[in-house]
Structure 1
Amino acid sequence: MTHAPKPPEPSPGFLLMTLGRSMRTEVEARLKQHGTSLRHFSALGHLSREPGLSYSELGRRAGVTAQSMQATLRQLEELGAVERRTLPGRGRTAELVVTPSGAELIATGHRTVREVEAAFLKTLDDEQRRSLTGILLSVLTGR
């Protein structure tokens, strides 16, 4: 009688990637219902904290090209979430400002992330959530 090989221990990295992908998919689906996306939410967040960031810098932070970020910001302008205070032109820095409508989209994004997080972590008690947060922060900051 042969025994089946013992399955390998679960990989924390693989579990984190799987959880992250699942949460991202759910957040994206919910944001889509509001006519927005995680990329929009990210760009709005960066602009609200640091007005005047360049397309290149916003693109670097989002992991996309400056051209892709320009398209994202055009969409945000069309949604009324961002206002351009300078004329567009090659080589010019666009002064982009988050509007009150954009601030509402940021609040919607934060609320959406909290709701999805709560659904995914519903089996954890408060102490386990605090512990998980501490562990993840430790891993992310290298401390």
Structure 2
Amino acid sequence: MSGDREDLTQRVGYQLKRVDAALRSAMDAALRPHGLTTPQYACLELLDRQPGLSNAELARGAFVTRQSMNVVLHNLQDAGLVVRPATAPQGRALPTTLTVEGRRRLHAARADILAIEDKMAGHLSPSQAAHLLDELDRMATALQSL
């Protein structure tokens, strides 16, 4: 092996993926006692902020495919955490809303997820956190044009 090869662990993309994997693992573990998966939690958070979102809107917000979101929604509906009408009020989109139990479960899980984020980024000052968020947004925007 040549000594002039670049250390991939010093690349931004590698470190972002490392953080992503660690965050997902921590979230999965924290959500398990609440009977939720990370995509289910993301879906509940989105619906708490914007009731009535469609499957496609939820999929975009949770970073999953529409097909995967359909499975997530069916599982949440079977668990009594969300409701969707049998037929679309207009068009084809079925607006989804949280049930009382869905809101209760979300609020209980949210505390555990916020604790993970605090552990991950708690060492950052408010200005450092704002700068990091701005830079991450710029990176995502740069990649959207590819």
Q: TM-score if structure 2 supplies the norm length?
A: 0.73
Aligned-residue identity in percent: 28
CA positional deviation for 1:25: 0.7
CA positional deviation for 1:73: 0.8
Q: Higher helix share goes to which structure?
A: 2
Residue correspondence of structure 1 range 105-116 to structure 2 within 5 A: 105-116=105-116
Partner Cα separation in structure 2 for residue 24 and residue 57 of structure 1: 21
CA positional deviation for 1:61: 2.5
Q: Is the 8 A contact 1:59 1:69 kept in 2?
A: yes
Instruction: State the number of aligned residues.
Output: 134
Match of 2:130 in 1: 134
Q: Is the 8 A contact 2:30 2:113 kept in 1?
A: no
Q: Is the 8 A contact 1:81 1:99 kept in 2?
A: yes
Partner Cα separation in structure 1 for residue 59 and residue 24 of structure 2: 19
Residue correspondence of structure 1 range 1-143 to structure 2 within 5 A: 8=7, 10-84=10-84, 86-88=85-87, 92-121=92-121, 124=123, 128-142=124-138
Partner Cα separation in structure 2 for residue 88 and residue 20 of structure 1: 37
Partner Cα separation in structure 2 for residue 63 and residue 118 of structure 1: 22
SS of equivalent residue, structure 1 residue 36: coil
RMSD in angstroms over aligned alpha carbons? 2.8
CA gap 1:80/1:25 in 2 versus in 1, 3 angstroms: same
Partner Cα separation in structure 1 for residue 74 and residue 135 of structure 2: 36
Q: TM-score if structure 1 supplies the norm length?
A: 0.75
Partner Cα separation in structure 2 for residue 52 and residue 32 of structure 1: 26
Structure 1 unaligned residues grouped into runs of 5+: none
Partner Cα separation in structure 1 for residue 14 and residue 39 of structure 2: 24
Greater C-alpha Rg = 1
Partner Cα separation in structure 2 for residue 11 and residue 108 of structure 1: 36
SS of equivalent residue, structure 2 residue 53: coil
Q: Is the 8 A contact 2:34 2:109 kept in 1?
A: no
